[in-house]
Amino acid sequence: MIPALCALVLAAADAAPAASAPQRLRGDVIVLQAAEVHVGDGTVFKPGLVIVQDGKLVAAGQSMPLPAGANVIDCGSATITPGLVDAACQLGTSALFGAAEQGSEVIPQLDMWDALDLYSRDFEQLVADGVTTVFVTGEASSVISAKGAALKTGGPIADRRLPAKPIVKLTLGPESSGRGASNRGPSRFGGVSYSTRRPTTRMGSAWVFRKAMHDSIAFRDAGRASNEDLEPDAMRALADVLAGKTALRVQAREALDFFTAVKLADEFGLSFSYEYATEAAQCLDLLAARKIPVIFGPVRSSDSIFEGFEGAMPALETPRLLAAKGIHFCLTASDGSGEGGLGRQAGLAIRFGLDRAQALRSVTSDPAQMVGLDGRVGRLVPGLDADLVVWNGAPFDDTAKPVLVLIQGRPVLDLQGKFRKENS
């Protein structure tokens, strides 16, 4: 492996501008040295360094000749990890008119990208948490959501969007059938609300899904709309789900909703990944037998022994149990940030028994893989985006936090002024 790295390094050196060139991030070679470099696939270099050029990672390793003219940033005793990836983020949507479309239960033709506020402060907070890539998942107040959208949390607006695989979400349980967080309440002005439009029961949610799928099949086979009011675009989008071109995700908290999801998927020959998964610990055997990927979380500080949503509480050792069963999983902070953010979710998983290396994978390479971005982000390997986090301690420890975050080689958080100093 080392010779290959050296070759890459030399190539980088050749491409690097002269040492006297003015400091410029694009085109320049940046080298970060730290006490530990965690690649994200289990490999750890102690000490380690990473080489970045043109927004891409050129090399990571223990020691190697530095390219001439490189901008070397010494991070001392810090640890470098890949930028964190959240595969089921629910932040960043436009606050006032955002992601909850009250117009229909079935909106797979819509795109969450259109609901995002790229200038939202949420993204600054995500960067501060070390999260560099998010897949903003479909909003849960429709039974079949809009397609999720993947994006970087920082950097130039034009470079933010990422080509994730198309994923729509089926939401079972109270969010889509009752008064979820975003379902509109009855207004004195009239209009639709959760009390006039939503399916009001779990059966109702399952029926909406089933009927939409049957409508889509009829539309596909007969080439015309059935007599219901589902838009042709929606039925076309569902046909992509049936054909496997669009992936299906299911959000459910309670185990019973998960069992419903399995039944529904079997009816239409679909496979799915399982989001939220509050009670995953009660479905371990089935998850393992069916090889269903799990996007677990978040565990909130309000999900305590004292209260839980609908009585469903996440079992604290769920990540460890999923790992022990060999179930493919990742962690999500959903709409949590700061003390409830993704790094803290990983920290909590470690406290309750998850191996540290797997905890790192569960917030970097595993979620990247689940949204089809493993060729772009999630590991510190050559050719991937130079998205990385420098931690002032062991990653995910309560006593550590990101002090430097790069997205595509650009500093988007720099608490210690490493780049300022370099550039002065």
Here's the x/- map for another protein, 257-276, by CB under 8 A: it reads as --x--x--------------
Nearest to 145 by CA among 165, 116, 169: 169
Residue with tokens 């950097």: 155
The residues in 394-413 that bind another protein, with binding defined as CB under 8 A, are 394, 396-401
User: Residue 83 and residue 234: Cα distance in Å, rounded?
Assistant: 35
Here's the x/- map for another protein, 210-229, by CB under 8 A: it reads as --------------------
CA distances from 244 to 239, 284, 352 (A): 9, 25, 36
- The rounded radius of gyration (Å) of the Cα atoms in the chain is 23
The residue among 148 and 293 lying less far from another protein, judged by its C-beta, is: 148
**By the 8 A CB rule, do 51 and 70 touch?**
yes
**By the 8 A CB rule, do 278 and 271 touch?**
no
- Closest CB 313 distance from another protein, rounded Å: 7
Binder among 121, 245, 420, 421 for another protein (CB under 8 A): 121
Q: Which tokens go with 238?
A: 């569902």
The residues in 31-50 that bind another protein, with binding defined as CB under 8 A, are none
Binding segment (CB under 8 A) for another protein, from list 23-31, 204-212, 219-227, 315-323: 315-323
Does 179 contact another protein by CB under 8 A?
no
Does 351 contact another protein by CB under 8 A?
yes
Residue with tokens 């989008």: 237
- Closest CB 268 distance from another protein, rounded Å: 16
Does 240 contact another protein by CB under 8 A?
no
The residue among 27 and 232 lying less far from another protein, judged by its C-beta, is: 232
CA atoms within 13 A on the CB side of 368: 27
The residue among 53 and 153 lying less far from another protein, judged by its C-beta, is: 153
Q: How many residues at the interface with another protein, by CB under 8 A?
A: 77
Does 316 contact another protein by CB under 8 A?
yes
The alpha-helical segments, DSSP class H, found in 184-294 are 202-222, 232-242, 255-267, 284-290
Does 86 contact another protein by CB under 8 A?
no
Binder among 117, 159, 335, 422 for another protein (CB under 8 A): 117
**By the 8 A CB rule, do 211 and 219 touch?**
no
Q: Which tokens go with 10?
A: 């030399």
- Closest CB 381 distance from another protein, rounded Å: 26
Is the link from the previous residue into 293 a cis peptide, with omega within 30 of 0?
A: no
Q: Which tokens go with 370?
A: 């689940």
The residue among 40 and 148 lying less far from another protein, judged by its C-beta, is: 148
Residue with tokens 């690097």: 16
The residue among 335 and 397 lying less far from another protein, judged by its C-beta, is: 397
Does 352 contact another protein by CB under 8 A?
yes
The residue among 200 and 304 lying less far from another protein, judged by its C-beta, is: 304
- Closest CB 289 distance from another protein, rounded Å: 6
Backbone φ and ψ of 250, nearest 5°: -125, 125
- Closest CB 323 distance from another protein, rounded Å: 13
Does 246 contact another protein by CB under 8 A?
no
User: Residue 106 and residue 145: Cα distance in Å, rounded?
Assistant: 6
The residues in 284-303 that bind another protein, with binding defined as CB under 8 A, are 285-286, 289-290, 299, 301-303
CA distances from 64 to 13, 28, 61, 159, 390 (A): 12, 18, 7, 31, 20
- Closest CB 82 distance from another protein, rounded Å: 19
- Closest CB 283 distance from another protein, rounded Å: 7
Nearest to 172 by CA among 285, 272, 291: 272
